Structure 1
């Protein structure tokens, strides 16, 4: 068993997951791979089986956070030192993940986030996502006195202390983005960003497509952040 486990949640990613697995095997061979097939209704499961990679199939659709948390529980059971979150839609780049892993080891920080915005890239950030990112950047700076340029990045490397916490019930919200970053910073965990490149999704649709999904996401995120800040203030008092 290796020191790093890469957790790849996949829901109906039959057209993307082959490339993701092949890229991870080629560009970060020092890691084990776990595909969490989140009760896909397409051919994702059969594709995963053909690639001879470790996988878990959930009994029903747990959505993104539930799928990733399933991976955390697996990592805890197997006693990995680090875990990485890596999307199954083909947007994340394995070579960039390898850089984050080296930083996590050398700098001994709790969370390393791959940022699309620390350096200039050609990544096309959707209009509403761009607005949301800007708002969350400002909230984090106000609440935590920290500059986090990419609070919605799902490309992260976590040490055991962090992913063990995330594996527990109620510790990993449905949308684990700016809200979770704020909570972890306020609790004293060390977070570092590193510049990465990402790709555009080729097949399928993002969970944030449409009109209502982004609205629901923003409302849920603001509510979650509000509760975290209230809880932190009460604990300080």
Structure 2
């Protein structure tokens, strides 16, 4: 739980060491251009847009930290937010841990954000931070599912797969980022939970901690496939038209 006597300071960790194979060959996914600007820059700006975030730690590909730092130096970021670039590891989990190890003392709240979610609105970021500051040890933004979901018995790629269950859709949520954590809780999770997990909130769940959900946003989608790039460009075009962004 958060200590009400301690001043609250928030940092964001952005693991950006992956290659993004589903977007095809070329630069790592986080460095792909979106409206002429790398997705990573959009993601950093999305975190820095929150006045509560005082530090953004970017976890670069193991051999790409100088390139990523040069990239950040080239693009305008809010002056009130510091940033730091550290080399990552072989897995996302290892990269997040390395990002956590780089945090200075005094950080009470940590956001972990996917570089491939470049368009998350600041209201979503602030809602996650506020929930942690209100006492939650782990917070995820999420959306209700529009589609019916089937659990199947996995088979060979492309082969028919038998359905084994139909979960109740009203109880399911599609989880996004940034995920927010009490700093000490997330550190404990990364030092005690072994085995690969799909997100950091799952690690807190394994510790027995309660993860709470706040409303996500449709624009916080993950850019994974080429079609997602088209959608992201459309969102940016609409923002420019509506807000001059």
Tell me which protein shows more strand as a share of its residues: 2
Q: State the SS of the aligned residue for 1:28.
A: coil
1:111 is matched with which residue? 138
- Alignment equivalent of 1:30, drawn from 40, 52, 64: 52
**How much has 1:96 moved relative to structure 2?**
0.3
**How much has 1:62 moved relative to structure 2?**
2.4
Query: For the Cα contact (< 8 Å) 1:83–1:160, is it kept in 2?
Result: yes
Structure 1 unpaired stretches of 5+? 139-146, 206-237
Please give the alpha-carbon distance, in whole angstroms, between the structure 1 residues aligned to 2:99 and 2:140.
Answer: 18
Higher mean C-alpha displacement, 44-53 vs 15-24: 44-53
Could you list the structure 1 runs, at least 4 aligned residues long, displaced by more than 6 angstroms after superposition: none
Please give the alpha-carbon distance, in whole angstroms, between the structure 1 residues aligned to 2:108 and 2:120.
Answer: 22
- Alignment equivalent of 2:128, drawn from 100, 115, 138: 100
CA deviation string 1:159-204 (max 9, x = no partner): 02311213316447353368536423xx2x2221111104344587
1:229 is matched with which residue? none
- Alignment equivalent of 2:190, drawn from 139, 162, 167: 167
2:86 is matched with which residue? 57
Please give the alpha-carbon distance, in whole angstroms, between the structure 2 residues aligned to 1:117 and 1:21.
Answer: 26
**How much has 1:46 moved relative to structure 2?**
2.5
Structure 2 unpaired stretches of 5+? 1-6, 18-27, 32-37, 152-163, 227-245
> Which structure has the greater CA radius of gyration?
2
Return the TM-score normalized by structure 1: 0.60
Q: State the SS of the aligned residue for 1:48.
A: helix
Query: For the Cα contact (< 8 Å) 2:39–2:115, is it kept in 1?
Result: yes
Please give the alpha-carbon distance, in whole angstroms, between the structure 2 residues aligned to 1:98 and 1:81.
Answer: 15
Tell me which protein shows more helix as a share of its residues: 1
CA deviation string 1:51-110 (max 9, x = no partner): 47522332x6423211111122223x523111011111215333201111112212x111
